[in-house]
């Protein structure tokens, strides 16, 4: 999981306008109202990145702790927290072995964070850590990538992002292995600053993908009950929509037994 070096520096630019953080937090709060037995107050954001979900939830009155394995990401989260004067606790921690000495009402793991757990052992360690950090009946809300929604390999894309005097280009090729259920995303970046200096770098990101049945199996075997799953591909996240067979991004809600 030694990723997110250069990638972390440009993370917010890469996903500029690509993720509806506010809409996703709205949906999380709707889940609290429908599936949580008690209104959550303390939230653990696993793989929090640069803290976009954490800071919105903290602004809404929740006590939020965000953890990420990348020091670059956590540095970015702390910087954003200071700039907008919103208090949240950000720590460099591996989600598989968190040591926080407190319990939370809910844990979230948004975007692709859950997929970086590549092995059975990784998953067992995560669920063990969650058991130590969630209160009884606490919720675990996380996104996973559905095997049925994958594009045929090799799948190539590119994007351009621009903010002020910085322009970023990303070219990707994704290849899925049916033997390991891992989607390997090779990324090539070119970043131009002030039409002069150029930053060029490559990153390879392996992401584990699942079927819904596999997710249910892993949760059940590790002390969690799958409560519901939702279509996370849809742009309209205001409604509870069930995923289709070819839905790529799925949001799962589980409860600690």
Q: How many residues does the chain have?
A: 257
Domain 6-146+210-256 architecture: 3-Layer(aba) Sandwich (3.40)
Q: What is the pLDDT of residue 3?
A: 63
Q: Burial-class residue 13 by CB neighbours within 10 Å (0-12, 13-18, 19+).
A: middle
- List, as one string, the DSSP characters of 106-137: EEEE-TTGGGG--SHHHHHHHHHHHHHHEEEE
The whole-number pLDDT of residue 254 equals: 98
What DSSP element (H or E) covers 12? helix 11-14
What's the token pair of residue 15? 């996903």
pLDDT one-digit tens code per residue, 129-145:
999 999 999 999 999 99
Report the half-sphere exposure of 254 (CA within 13 A, side-chain side): 28
Q: What are phi and psi of 13, to 5 degrees?
A: -70, -40
Look up the CATH number of domain 149-208. Answer: 2.20.130.10
Q: What is the largest CA-CA distance in the chain?
A: 56
What is the structure's pLDDT at 1? 41
Q: Which two tokens stand for residue 211?
A: 């079927």
Looking at residue 195, what is its pLDDT? 83
At residue 98, the 3 state secondary structure works out as coil
Domain boundaries, the chain: 6-146+210-256, 149-208
SS3 211: coil
Q: What is the mean pLDDT for each group of 10 consecutive residues in the chain (257 residues)?
A: 75 89 95 94 97 97 97 96 95 95 96 94 97 96 97 96 94 97 97 90 96 97 96 78 94 96
Cβ-in-10-Å burial (0-12, 13-18, 19+) of 152 comes to exposed
Report the pLDDT value the prediction gives residue 238, as an integer from 0 to 100.
64
């Amino acid at each position: 999981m030694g990723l997110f070096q250069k990638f972390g520096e440009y993370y917010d630019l890469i996903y500029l306008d690509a993720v509806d953080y506010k809409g996703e937090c709205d949906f999380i709060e709707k889940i609290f109202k429908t599936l949580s037995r008690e209104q959550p107050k303390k939230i653990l954001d696993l793989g929090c990145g640069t803290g976009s979900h954490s800071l919105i939830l903290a602004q809404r009155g929740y006590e939020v702790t965000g953890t990420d394995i990348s020091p670059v990401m956590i540095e970015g989260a702390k910087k954003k927290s200071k700039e907008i004067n919103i208090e949240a606790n950000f720590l460099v921690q591996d989600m598989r072995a968190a040591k926080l000495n407190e319990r939370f009402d809910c844990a979230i793991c948004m975007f692709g964070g859950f997929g970086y757990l590549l092995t059975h052992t990784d998953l067992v360690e995560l669920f063990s850590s969650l058991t130590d950090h969630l209160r009884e009946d606490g919720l675990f809300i996380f996104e996973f990538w559905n095997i049925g929604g994958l594009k045929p390999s090799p799948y190539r894309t590119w994007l351009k992002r621009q903010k002020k005097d910085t322009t970023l280009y990303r070219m990707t090729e994704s290849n899925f292995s049916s033997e390991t259920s891992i989607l390997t995303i090779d990324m090539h970046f070119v970043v131009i600053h002030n039409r002069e200096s150029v930053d060029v770098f490559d990153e390879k990101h392996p992401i584990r993908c699942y079927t819904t049945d596999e997710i249910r199996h892993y949760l059940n075997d590790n002390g969690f009950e799958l409560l519901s799953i939702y279509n996370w591909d849809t742009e309209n996240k205001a409604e509870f929509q069930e995923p289709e067979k070819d839905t790529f991004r799925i949001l799962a809600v589980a409860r600690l037994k």
